[in-house]
């Protein structure tokens, strides 16, 4: 039997494996806990930031999730598109693990873009482009029918208006709109923000639990210098393809435009944070409260996001932040 000192030494020696095991369990728990499923990547991100081996953390977390999914399916008897769901789940974990612990030779911003684009492409192929009788399509249809009925209920007791709204906003119309938006950058934006929020929560968890910070955060984020030309060319290409009705190139242009827009939005947010960090704590507290209120205010939040986007683009021409060569090379969102 291990003595107290031996047990402490054992835990210290095997702490990475203990951390990985606990985080893998938490990932499985979050994934199968309703709303918490949105942050199922966070435990794995925390483990990687805490110094656990990148590939080992990925394999253990993915293995736990796959085994639990197979056990759940075996006990419930449901089959569906289990193969595609497991491929999608593994790809999500792999992409995020690469963002958190991939090669330092590839800038973090590029890992974000590549992982988000790959996850979006896989999502479009496996689910959005799947059969009408697949599990995801059936779920999407159920949600579309619910939205259609909600819109129709706004017509009140007017039967003619209700029928007109049901026809104008039918489940098929909603599904077609979802597919169109997903193809034109919606999927890439969704995965980019999912990965970004998961990374920020992982960094926050590391600070809360281990009191460590290993990143300068968004305030030190700079968009690659040539991104402004990519944004401009994608906008021109987008307008041309709309006029010429070339749908495939239009879809590609939309995705490139959305990725560039996210990067400049992040740069604008970094400028705002840089300014806030130079103020007093009370000023920062009040500004954070106002920001939360603005983000939950319809139309006002759109104006605020547009202002941050323009601010991020403006820094490409005017040095708003005092930068050093070290800062300019950093691109960690």
| Average pLDDT of the segment spanning 201-212 | 80
Kindly report the number of other CB atoms within 10 A of residue 215's CB atom.
17
- Considering the domain boundaries, does residue 79 fall inside one? no
Read off the pTM: 0.76
pLDDT in tens, 286-317: 777 777 777 777 788 788 888 888 998 988 88
Separation between Cα atoms, residue 23 and residue 46, nearest integer Å: 8
- Of 145, 34, 107, the closest CA to residue 330 belongs to 107
Q: Identify the pLDDT of residue 98.
A: 92
Q: pLDDT at position 193, please?
A: 85
Average pLDDT over residues 266-281: 81
Q: Are 220 and 74 in contact (CB under 8 A)?
A: no
Domain annotation covers residue 76? no
Q: pLDDT-based confidence at 134, cuts 50/70/90?
A: low
Q: Is residue 289 part of a domain?
A: yes
| Percent with pLDDT over 90 in the chain | 7
Q: Give CA–CA dist 100/119, Å, rounded.
A: 15
Name the 3-class secondary structure at 148: helix
DSSP 8-state secondary structure symbol assigned to residue 223: -
Q: CA–CA separation, 145 vs 166, rounded Å?
A: 10
Q: Domain count of the chain?
A: 1
- With beta carbons less than 8 A apart as the criterion, state whether 127 and 84 touch: yes
**Whether residue 28 has pLDDT greater than 60:** yes
Rounded CA-CA distance 253/185 in Å is: 9
> Across all residues in the chain, what is the average pLDDT?
78
Q: Tell me, yes or no, whether 305 lies in a domain.
A: yes
Is residue 306 included in any domain, yes or no? Answer: yes
Residue 312: inside a domain, yes or no? yes
Decide if 151 is inside a domain.
Answer: no
Helices and strands per DSSP (H, E), number in the chain: 15, 0
How confident is the model over 153-173, as pLDDT tens digits?
665 666 666 666 666 777 777
Instruction: Specify if 43 maps to a domain.
Output: no
> How many residues are given for the chain?
333
Residue 96 confidence (pLDDT) above 90:
yes
> What tokens were used for 298?
């319809």
Predicted pLDDT of residue 224: 82
User: What Å distances lie between residue 56 and 47, 53, 220, 234, CA to CA?
Assistant: 10, 5, 30, 39
Domain ranges, residue 279: 216-333
Q: What is the mean pLDDT of residues 225-235?
A: 89
């Amino acid at each position: 039997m291990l003595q107290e000192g031996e047990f402490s030494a054992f835990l210290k020696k095997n702490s990475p494996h203990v951390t990985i095991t606990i985080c893998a369990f938490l990932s499985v728990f979050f994934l199968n806990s309703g709303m918490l499923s949105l942050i199922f990547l966070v435990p794995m991100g925390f483990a990687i930031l805490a110094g656990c081996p990148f590939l080992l953390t990925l394999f253990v977390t993915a293995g736990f999730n796959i085994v639990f999914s197979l056990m759940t399916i075996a006990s419930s008897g449901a089959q569906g598109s289990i193969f595609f769901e497991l491929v999608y789940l593994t790809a999500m974990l792999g992409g995020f693990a690469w963002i958190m612990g991939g090669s330092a030779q590839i800038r973090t911003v590029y890992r974000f873009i590549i992982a988000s684009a790959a996850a979006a492409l896989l999502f479009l192929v496996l689910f959005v482009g799947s059969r009408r009788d697949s599990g995801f399509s059936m779920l999407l249809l159920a949600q579309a029918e619910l939205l259609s009925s909600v819109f129709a209920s706004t017509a009140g007791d007017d039967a003619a208006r209700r029928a007109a709204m049901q026809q104008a906003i039918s489940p098929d119309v909603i599904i077609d709109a979802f597919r169109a938006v997903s193809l034109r950058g919606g999927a890439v934006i969704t995965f980019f923000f999912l990965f970004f929020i998961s990374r920020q929560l992982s960094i926050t968890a590391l600070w809360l639990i281990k009191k460590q910070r290993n990143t300068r955060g968004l305030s030190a984020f700079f968009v690659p210098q040539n991104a402004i030309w990519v944004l401009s060319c994608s906008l021109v290409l987008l307008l041309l393809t709309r006029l010429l009705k070339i749908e495939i190139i239009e879809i590609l242009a939309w995705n490139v435009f959305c990725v560039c827009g996210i990067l400049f939005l992040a740069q604008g947010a970094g400028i705002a944070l840089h300014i806030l960090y130079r103020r007093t704590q009370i000023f920062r507290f009040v500004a954070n409260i106002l920001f939360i209120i603005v983000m939950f205010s319809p139309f006002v939040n759109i104006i605020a996001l547009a202002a941050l986007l323009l601010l991020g683009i403006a820094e490409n021409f005017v040095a708003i932040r005092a930068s050093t060569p070290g800062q300019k090379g950093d691109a960690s969102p």
